[in-house]
Structure 1
Amino acid sequence: MHYPPAQKPAHKPVRRLRVAVAAALTGLALGGCSPAVDVAPAADAANPACAPMMVALPDAIGDARLRKTNSQATAAWGDPSRVVLRCGVNVPGPTTDRCVSVNDVDWVIKEGDPVWTLTTYGREPATEILMDPDKISSATVLADLSGAAAKIKASRKCVG
């Protein structure tokens, strides 16, 4: 008995094309990923009050885009990072450090060289921002982040 030669199913080239396209797209997606920013979580990072603030964070501060971080209740903007945020830091007590109010959120400012530390005042848990004023304006940072920080209810205000 003689059988005709077997024909290859027509769907195999289409399947191969799909697999090749999927592999190429995966390679492009993975190749475009930058590694997560290594940020140590704050002691109270698991506080549920951080969650509403974290989901309200902006996608960008100025021209610095939001990046992924490797720990809970943290965020970073820019590559390399120009702004780093941690929710759940120690709540500052009364202080003589400079305190400014931006969009009804009070911030204690400690000017370092080169990094400044900006910490919410009167909100628990507190939020800390680390930034270099030579790389990005503190006014821009505070204006862009105060809306999210306001998601944590204030119990005290700066005086003076």
Structure 2
Amino acid sequence: MPATSPRPTRARSRVLLGVVASAALLAGCTSAVPVPVAPHATDPVCASVVLATPDSLGDGLTRRDTTSQATTAWGDPAHPVVLRCGVELLGPTTEHCVTVATPGGATVDWVAVASDPEHEDTSAWTFTTYGREPAVEVQVPAEVAQERSTAFMDALGPAVDRTTKTRACL
């Protein structure tokens, strides 16, 4: 039997290292939060809205990459807070509408809908801008809503204020 030389072992080590590095890179790519694209996500204003969103919405809610245009997410990839720009505009509604002041002074009106209205304290929430074009939606999963208030919505105000205000909550 011929003796094995150290060269093939080094070559195999390099190949193995390359495979491991490639796998690590691919695993990093899969950490993007899957988000369905909104029907009007191609509105140019949506790009400026998403680019103006904060890197963090507070402790444990740091920005995450997403899989769709005009979206961003924060927090745990399994239960992220998700913003989508370009959703369908809301018409007149009897749902709860709340006006949130932004740190810069402007106000944003949001229609807040609990996924389980009978258990709002343990429910997921969907906030959709009212009277703004393009419309913006923020989904807050129950796992986040149970641990903290949704007071971070004011931090989104400067970004959302880039949309055109056409109406206001009554």
Shift of 1:31: 7.9
Structure 1 residue runs of 4+, over 4 Å off?
none
Q: Which has the larger radius of gyration?
A: 1
CA distance in structure 2 between the partners assigned to 1:78 and 1:144 by the alignment? 15
Provide the alpha-carbon RMSD of the alignment.
2.5
| Number of equivalences | 140
Residue 5 of structure 2: aligned partner:
none
Residue 3 of structure 1: aligned partner:
none
Residue 66 of structure 2: aligned partner:
69
Q: Is the partner of 1:145 in helix, strand or coil?
A: helix
Shift of 1:135: 3.7
Letter in 1 for 2:35: V
CA distance in structure 2 between the partners assigned to 1:123 and 1:109 by the alignment? 15
Letter in 1 for 2:53: L
TM-score (structure 2 length as normaliser): 0.72
Residue 146 of structure 2: aligned partner:
134
Return 126-135 or 29-38, whichever deviates more: 29-38
Residue 50 of structure 2: aligned partner:
54
**Runs of at least 5 residues in structure 2 that lack an aligned partner in the other structure:** 1-13, 117-122
Shift of 1:89: 0.5
Letter in 1 for 2:164: K
Residue 9 of structure 1: aligned partner:
none
Q: Is the partner of 1:59 in helix, strand or coil?
A: coil
CA distance in structure 2 between the partners assigned to 1:32 and 1:146 by the alignment? 33
Which has the larger share of helix? 2
- C-alpha contact (below 8 Å) 2:41/2:70 kept by paired residues: yes
Residue 45 of structure 1: aligned partner:
41
CA distance in structure 1 between the partners assigned to 2:110 and 2:72 by the alignment? 18
Q: Is the partner of 2:164 in helix, strand or coil?
A: coil
* Pick aligned residue for 2:88 from 74, 87, 90: 90
Letter in 2 for 1:148: A
Q: Any idea what the Cα deviations from partners look like across 1:25-59, whole Å, max 9, x if unmatched?
A: x67x8388362111000110111121111110110
